[in-house]
A and B are shown apart, each in its own frame.
Chain A
Amino acid sequence: MRQSLAGDQRAYATLLTETTRLLRPFLSKRLRFSNEVDDLLQEILLSIHKARHTYDGKRPYKPWAYAIAKFRLLDHLRAHYSDQLRHAIDFDELEENLHEHVTESEMSYESISGEVQKLPEKQALILQLMHQEGYTAKEVAEKIGMNESAVKVAAHRAYKVLRERLER
């Protein structure tokens, strides 16, 4: 790192490569998908590059690099979980609005059943059970052996496709 700070490009490339090797197992243990690990590794390398002037050549390099890696990992996890939370709220709102749309809007399930049948089999089945037969997402989940949030996700995707098709 001392050589890199002095402007030695080859030493810097070696250092970044070694840092990647050092941090990959650290991130792999904490993240589920390898593409996530790669994305985060790139972000960490950029952060190391940006903050390299804060490294003091008289101190060990690893604690400095790990501090940045941990910081970026926590940031990533925070963003990831807050995203999940936001979606969870969306699905709850969706479920509340679901019955209103079908019963109160001028568009009935029957009038769009042709479009529903063109959806993937599972999505069509979920919409049929929820809107033609009046089951809740929880009941549909029990009936077809899925979990409740997966049913809500599938329904949400189906609405999106239907909306796009009907707006055309």
Chain B
Amino acid sequence: MDNIEQLVASLSKEASAVKPAPHPFMLSLRWTIAAAIYLAVSLAISGLRPEFLEKLHNPWLLAELAALLGLFIVTTLSAALLAFPDLHQKRVLAFAPIVPALIFLIVILLAWRADNPPAPLPVHSFECTLSITLMTLLPAVWTFYSMRKFASTHYRLAGSVALLSAFSVGALWLRLHEANDSILHVVEWHYLPMLGIGLLGLWLGKVLLKW
């Protein structure tokens, strides 16, 4: 007990006023605003797909974009909650990304079924995954950097969700930039890599968020 008493005495001597961490809702709002600015600037530089206005009449593309946006918002919120030891006592919200992920999956499956006759495949392939990954880097860096300031007790899951959130930004950008109607291509080179990114996030979370 002596050691513990000594520790308590030394810790309480060190205790000065600390600035409390921001509320996770505020934190996720900051990340969302930063991502929106990043997306807008990227699109301003790279340009929107040429037939964008025309494609707004395609309900499946709209549903896909809305589902992707939903996934981004919920994973961002979840990543912010997972950065706190007790998930800010909002466990249900922290594990909520499973809902938009399921909705996204259903939308993609329905869009795939509706793609009849199938749109022609573009000539490129892995370049899309590479572009999304490159776009993901900056949001991933800022999300991990700010999560490291907190104290995640679910660091693997937090890493995975944070990386999925960043990848959604990249996926949104490419879907708005690239003139491509082939859902098969989109599934294969835009969305399937998300699974790998989720796994990579588990590892990155362990490496970067463990404290």
Q: Do A and B come from one complex?
A: yes
Complex contact A54–B23 (CB within 8 A): no
A12 and B18 alpha carbons, distance in the complex (Å): 12
Residue total for A at the interface (Cβ-Cβ under 8 A): 36
Judged by a CB distance under 8 angstroms, whether B211 is at the interface is yes
Judged by a CB distance under 8 angstroms, whether B11 is at the interface is yes
Judged by a CB distance under 8 angstroms, whether A46 is at the interface is yes
A67-B4 contact in complex given A50-B211, A54-B150, C-beta closer than 8 Å: no
Select one of B4, B83, B84 contacting A42, CB under 8 A. Answer: B4
Judged by a CB distance under 8 angstroms, whether B20 is at the interface is yes
Complex contact A46–B153 (CB within 8 A): no
Chain A 55-76, CB within 8 Å of chain B: the 1/0 string?
1110110011011101100000
Select one of B11, B87, B153 contacting A45, CB under 8 A. Answer: B11
A20-B12 contact in complex given A50-B211, A67-B85, A67-B153, C-beta closer than 8 Å: no
Complex contact A7–B85 (CB within 8 A): no
A41 and B86 alpha carbons, distance in the complex (Å): 18
A10 and B13 alpha carbons, distance in the complex (Å): 9
**Residues in A whose Cβ lies below 8 Å from that of B13:** 9
Complex contact A64–B18 (CB within 8 A): no
Select one of A42, A45, A56 contacting B20, CB under 8 A. Answer: A56
Select one of B11, B19, B23, B89 contacting A53, CB under 8 A. Answer: B19
**Residues in A whose Cβ lies below 8 Å from that of B4:** 20, 38, 41-42, 45
B97-151 with Cβ < 8 A to chain A: 150-151
Complex contact B153–A9 (CB within 8 A): no
A52 and B84 alpha carbons, distance in the complex (Å): 11
Judged by a CB distance under 8 angstroms, whether B56 is at the interface is no
Instruction: Looking at the assembled complex, report how far the CB atom of A157 sits from the nearest CB atom of chain B, in whole angstroms.
Output: 29
**Residues in B whose Cβ lies below 8 Å from that of A63:** 86, 89
A9 and B12 alpha carbons, distance in the complex (Å): 5
* 10 cross-chain pairs, A with B, having the tightest CB-CB distances, nearest first: A7-B17, A51-B151, A13-B12, A71-B153, A67-B86, A12-B15, A16-B8, A64-B86, A67-B85, A12-B12
Q: Which residues of A contact B (CB under 8 A)?
A: 4-10, 12-13, 16-17, 20, 38, 41-42, 45-47, 49-57, 59-60, 63-64, 66-68, 70-71
